[in-house]
Amino acid sequence: MKVRIGIAPPPGDGAGRFAETVDRAEAAGVDSLWLAEIVFGSSVEPFVGMGYALARTRRLKVGTGVAILPGRNPVLVAKQLASLAALAPKRVLPAFGLQPARPEEKELFPVPGGSRGAVFDESMELLRLLLREEGPVTFKGRFHSVQDAEIGPRPAKPLDIWLGGSGPVALRRVGRLADGWLASFLTPEEAGAGRETIEAHAAEAGREIEPDHFGISLPVAATAIPDELTAALLRRRPGADPATLVPVGGGVGARDLIQRYVAEGITKFVVRPAQGPVDIGPWLDDFTRELMPLQN
């Protein structure tokens, strides 16, 4: 299985620092750059950031980690992804989630009646059809309907669509609909159990997810876990011990934890500073020295 370790920009980094992060990641040989969906604040919007980063580089892969799908029109999302994949083949990594990381942003992604989960499932079904089926697509669902929709040439190699989430319904969704899993705030043992559950759901659906398509987003603290991150983590995982989920000590602290994830079958990683602002140069030096050698 291929172990690959990408990065996400420091929290709160805006357009003024984004170009430096992109350029340094490309120069350092970083595998991938992942852009979170954080609307309120200075973070670069993920689809805009993907286009900018892909145009500025020649090797770096760029993904969303994760973007919110319910509340977006899946036809427009398919058009965006197909266009990016045509302009930067084999370097587009879409990953989607159900809910924004910040509860106050949920109203920015309204759904057309019904539950967000049902909208998510139907959006995924239509998105995959548009990106993979040859010729026009006709689809009539509960929330979305299109007649002879044609978004242009499909990617020569079908895009792998990854999903986040870790609850029972989310794991079932990944197994039934996704090509990969990008989790967060799980211990290595919990992530390994989630992987096994997803594989079982995929088998039930007559599908198979590639063994190295299981990943986790991992915040890494320099000296101590920031209070803001602890609060966010406990909102997601009440009663959890932050020390088991957020390594401290930079790359040295993350190295052993990543190896434990690999032992559980988790081989894709999105490492990000636990707190910003961060001088990206020294941070990437630490990343390349301590973590990139774990790749194979």
Give the domains, in start order, of the chain with CATH numbers.
4-294 (3.20.20.30)
Spatial distance between the Cα atoms of 221 and 273, rounded to a whole number of angstroms: 6
pLDDT tier at 163, thresholds 50, 70, 90: very high
Share of the chain above pLDDT 70, in %: 100
pLDDT tier at 11, thresholds 50, 70, 90: confident
pLDDT tier at 35, thresholds 50, 70, 90: very high
pLDDT at 52 over 90: yes
pLDDT at 44 over 80: yes
Predicted confidence (pLDDT) per residue in 64-120, tens digit:
999 999 999 999 999 999 999 999 999 999 999 999 989 999 999 999 776 999 999
Better-scored residue on pLDDT, 49 or 276: 49
Taking residues 228-248, what's their average pLDDT?
Answer: 95
Query: Tokens representing 221?
Result: 């603290």
pLDDT at 113: 73
| Average pLDDT taken over every residue of the chain | 96
pLDDT at 24 over 80: yes
Predicted confidence (pLDDT) per residue in 217-227, tens digit:
999 999 999 99
Predicted confidence (pLDDT) per residue in 267-294, tens digit:
999 999 999 889 999 999 999 999 999 9
